Amino acid sequence: MASPEVKVRSIARNWKVCERICRFRALLLLTLVYVVLGIVYAGVTPILEKPDEQGHYGYLLYLRENRALPPLQVVDELSFEYKQPPLYYVLVSVLSGMLPNSPSTSALSLDRNPYVDHTVPGERGDNRNVYLHPPQHTPLGTMGRVVSMGFGCGTMMVAYFLARETMPEVPPAQYATAMVAGFHPRFIYMATAVNNDASAAFFGAAVIYLLVRCVKRSASSRLLGLTGSVLGLAVLSKTSTLLFVPIACLALALSPGKPWRRRFVDVTVVMVIAVAVGGWWYLRNAIAFGDAITLGAHLDSDLGVRSLSGRLVRDVLSIEYTFWANLARTTVARLPLDSVLIWWGRLSSLALVIGVWRWGSGSPSPAERVMMMILLCVPVSFALALVGFWTRTQAFAFGRLLLPALAALVTLWVFGWSRALADPWRGLLLRLSGGLVLCAGVITPVASIWPLYHPYWRFDPKNTQATIDWRFYEPDGSEVARLIGYGISTSYVTEGASVAVELCWLPIGRTSSPASVLVHIVEASQVGSPTGPPIYGGRRTYPGLGNQPTDRWTLSEPFCDPLWVRLPSGDEVLPTQTLIEVGLIDGTSGERLEVRDGDGFPVMAMLPGPALVSAADLERDILTAQYVFGESIVLHRVDAELDGRTLEMELTWQSRHRVPYDAVMFVHVVGGDGALVAQTDIPPAGDRFHTSAWIPRQILTDTIVLPLPAGGGGPYTLRFGLYERESLQRLPVVGKDGELAVDDMIVCHIGAPGGLSCN
């Protein structure tokens, strides 16, 4: 039985542990939120869709299959990241060895989406999948993302402790630093990818934290050894982390309160250990490939060297944008959330300038000056290397290449806020600042990432504009799919604008190769003509924009797929009624699949399309009404001219409101003896543009030519009006005097050789 003294000591130890846990309970809560959110980030993005994942995945496959480091050469799209240091990949390979179903190269389908980034400007969720899916995930890919998530979580924790060292008197700043570093959307997106960026960020943060401790406190042999080891691991995680080597030397060499000899010894100890831990990989590259730091492999580019003056502004803006936003392999339009984060970064940089100026005027200690120098050197060094060296031979400047400096950069931003703000507001605004980034990190998967890679949804008849039953068959007679619903995003579209055509599919069978969906917007009045109808816009893509290819889509689970179609810009067009032509194109033969209706009869795969109008039609004034048909259609002006045996009418129409029906115009010409000498029934504007497609205030000028029989006697009387196409019911017509026309028609008398008088 333990003595009372032993029990007291045990209780005291347990109390201290509980007290320490309670002290960091907020950090533990952030860690829990990070893990849950990291799982979401990893799950919503299909495998290989994060930046360069296929190359990093290929590195892992090589290690697993060959039990050796890969050579510094590019063979295919799985090998272009062989130039990376091996720490992250070795760790993932070892841990994934415990997983079942160890993948091989053939276990991961690398079928590219040929329609990727065939985009409509401004539409984010439009062909962002670089590869076809499934597969969505593999055991090796899952482990790669989990390991990255662990490094990301570690980066958040190290950032917190770095803030404790640099801002011990401001607890809100410490948690704000952890929130901004951990929930920065770009960072958590990359920290859940098969990529070595998170490992570089973690070891970079750890190096800075240890250097700050070495400067702030007397560096013991144990602390120096740990610093050297972590620095060695950092240079084994990513080549760009070599920038930490001169920063570490400078920090240790300028440590205050030590003689120069001791500083020299500190630098030597740290460098020797770092070289022992991480230098072997660079030595191997120098001996085997003549490229110690893999510059030759990294900078292999056909673009040539670009001048700094010609790319500086563009590169800086590109770095800013891709540091905060653009969570896709392709360039996408901004969200309001992206703009909020970008301006948060700009304001934080301004606060940093103010905060450093105020801090410098307060006579900081030598140790504080060195710590500030370390923090400033890190992001500045990476930014200069990125803009001054890396992007001179690359097409784009990627902000994610600054992630190894994330902890130092975020600490500086929060330091700026803490120094620039007065005490009454400091704590509140620091919490709001960190909370803003945390909220952005939570919202991003739903608002930004999911729509990029899953721009389709389950079919619901209640939310579908119209249902249909078209069935698509392969040449051998096997049914592939049914089109069960459709819709369009707008009832009219102008030149250069875009329209979303929603197609709802029911997968019935799988094809041997992916079939493409074809959508054409064609002129309705010319369908069936020998030359075919004019095509105003169209596109091809795969169902689900890469997530539902017909050779692997999920059978019997209907889904709706919006396809954005952009109409080309050009000269002003006449108002035109369109149809939407839909087809499935066989992936092997390039031929269209046969389409039949539910009764088995062939159908012409045409759906009602949007009206094509000119931009001027959207900005019309209300015209004076000479006559009003059915309260919606206005006849502003009517002219008639008799030229020999031909009567030519010119009418100017305008719609006051949306017209819910298609109207047809009847025209009767009566001779002087009361006999009918000519007549026609034609829709206003012909078959090109039905009245149900007219937009409010739209103006249309219509010309009708009627030949008159020879020998007919004048003068002539013209009678015309409108009736509904379906019911044949005439539309009531009211004149400008407010009187209802007799027999719902307008009567005009035509003199010879011209002149017109209407009731």
Domains delineated in the chain: 7-109+138-297+315-327+341-346+364-379+389-452 (no CATH), 457-617 (2.60.40), 620-758 (2.70.50.60)
Residue 3: pLDDT band (50, 70, 90) is low
**Range of weakest confidence among 162-176, 233-247, 299-313:** 299-313
**Could you tell me where the beta strands, DSSP code E, fall in 460-574?**
466-473, 479-488, 492-494, 498-507, 516-523, 535-541, 559-566
Mean pLDDT (whole number) for 616-622: 72
Which whole-number Å values give the CA distances from 303 to 299, 308, 476, in the listed order?
10, 14, 49
Residues 6+ apart with CB under 8 A from 521: 499, 535, 536, 537, 538, 565, 567, 578, 579, 580, 581, 609, 610, 612
Q: What pTM does this model have?
A: 0.83
Edge-to-edge strand ranges of the sheet holding 733-735: 699-707, 646-655, 633-643, 627-629, 733-735
Higher pLDDT, 297 or 694: 694
Q: What is the pLDDT of residue 517?
A: 95
Residue in this structure with the two tokens 């670009």, named with its chain if needed: 306
Residue 481 to residue 472: CA distance in whole angstroms = 5
Q: Give mean pLDDT, residues 524-551.
A: 86
Higher pLDDT, 71 or 570: 71
For residue range 264-296, list pLDDT tens digits in order: 999 999 999 999 999 999 999 999 888 888 877
- What percentage of residues in the chain have a pLDDT greater than 70? 91
Which has the closest alpha carbon to 212: 157, 271, 162, 264? 162
Q: How far is CA 530 from CA 443, 500, 520, in A?
A: 53, 29, 18
* 55-94 pLDDT tens trace: 999 999 899 888 899 998 888 888 888 999 999 999 999 9
**How many residues does the structure list for the chain?**
759
Residue of 178 and 759 predicted with greater confidence: 178
pLDDT at 196: 95
Residue pair 48/200 in contact by the 8 Å Cβ criterion: no
Give the pLDDT score at 357.
92
∠ at Cα 331 (329, 334), nearest 5°? 120
Q: What is the pLDDT of residues 255-269, one digit of tens each?
A: 888 888 999 999 999
Cβ-in-10-Å burial (0-12, 13-18, 19+) of 588 comes to: exposed
Judged against a pLDDT cut of 90, whether residue 518 lies above it is answered with yes
**Using alpha carbons only, how large is the chain's radius of gyration in Å?**
36
- Residue 584: C-alpha distances to residues 26, 126, 505, 665 (Å): 55, 19, 11, 39
Cα–Cα distance list, 40 to 240, 243, 684 (Å)? 29, 33, 56
Q: What is the pLDDT of residue 511?
A: 93
Q: Which residue has the tokens 């890469």?
A: 546
Q: What's 511's DSSP letter?
A: -
With beta carbons less than 8 A apart as the criterion, state whether 653 and 720 touch: no
pLDDT at position 658 over 50: yes
User: Using CA atoms, how far apart are residues 382 and 404, in angstroms rounded to an integer?
Assistant: 8
Residue 717 and residue 105: Cα distance in Å, rounded? 83
Burial class (CB in 10 A: 0-12, 13-18, 19+), 153: buried
